[in-house]
Amino acid sequence: MASAAVVFLGCLHQPKGPPMSLPPTTSRRSRRDGAELAQLLESRSQAQPVPEMSEPIVFVIDDDAQAGRAVSELVRTFNYEVRTFQNPRDFLEALQELDDYQVGCVITDLRMSGVDGMELLQRLNERSSTLPVIIITAYAETSTTVRALRRGAVAVLDKPFRDDELWGFIQEGVSRSVSEVSRHRRQQELEERFKRLSPQDREVLKLIMEGSKNRTMAKRLDVSLRTIENRRRRIFDVMQADSVAELTRMVVEYEYRLPATSPSEETWLHLPFERVA
């Protein structure tokens, strides 16, 4: 662990200058290798297109049609697209047809026949939905409010509520949704990169994270130094990382959001892998 910390801190305190795509190796590179490396750095320096976010949608769920229409009309005055449902099950079915990265939020009544607001919140959590929930109710209780907030609700609004209260919570919900969509996209992007690494690449990645030097890796894996250099180069290329610090951040960022496979194992080493035929 100490050696890994030294490597990580060393990368953080590198002098200013053009970023390196690979940590230094012990062998000499030919002019051709240097040209290829320069070309790789130039391609990475170009800005990558950022996927656009969808227009926010506010979903209103209330089994009281009149109450649902009243909330929907109020939300429309905030210039948001609104979709109204009287039955939570209809909303959950419609949700399956939406883009996984839909931005927005849900406003639901607490007490409804069948699926109530708390159960709807729970089902959205189970689906890892990117749509935060605002619960409105005329029967607010402290215990209910606490449970809802612990489950991730944006707020529990007592009826009648002020327009500016609802507006503020919708803004917060949409902001949370944008953050969640960005996180999900990043997770998918990292997973796709990790899957492109072969088992041999992942062995080298593990040793890089431990702070091992190339010669040490070669001895431990019983391969040549050139093989280690090639695998290391491939890892940085596939992961689009320019330093050990950046590579470490990617691994930690990805694994921090994954459940542990075993309490006794280092879960950040369990990278997804898709065998290539």
CATH, residue 105: 3.40.50.2300
Confidence at residue 271, expressed as pLDDT on a 0 to 100 scale: 54
Q: Rg of the chain over CA atoms, in angstroms?
A: 25
| Mean pLDDT per 10-residue section of the chain, whose length is 277 residues | 38 38 38 44 39 85 92 93 94 90 94 90 92 92 89 92 93 93 89 93 93 94 94 95 91 70 47 47
CA 104/CA 129 separation, integer angstroms? 10
Check whether residue 94 and residue 114 sit in a common domain.
Answer: yes
pLDDT per residue as tens digits for the range 190-205: 999 999 999 999 999 9
Confidence at residue 114, expressed as pLDDT on a 0 to 100 scale: 83
**Tokens 């695998």, residue?**
231
Rounded alpha-carbon distances, angstroms, from residue 97 to 58, 100, 104, 174, 188:
16, 9, 15, 20, 20
Q: Which residue range forms the structural domain that includes residue 90?
A: 57-186
Check whether residue 84 and residue 143 sit in a common domain.
Answer: yes
Confidence at residue 196, expressed as pLDDT on a 0 to 100 scale: 93
Check whether residue 78 and residue 100 sit in a common domain.
Answer: yes
Check whether residue 67 and residue 139 sit in a common domain.
Answer: yes
Confidence at residue 141, expressed as pLDDT on a 0 to 100 scale: 84
Looking at the chain, list the stretches that DSSP marks H as alpha helix, in order from N- to C-terminal side: 2-12, 31-45, 65-76, 88-95, 117-126, 142-150, 163-195, 199-209, 214-221, 225-239, 244-256
CB atoms within 10 A of CB 100: 12
pLDDT per residue as tens digits for the range 2-44: 444 333 333 333 334 443 333 333 344 444 444 443 443 344 3
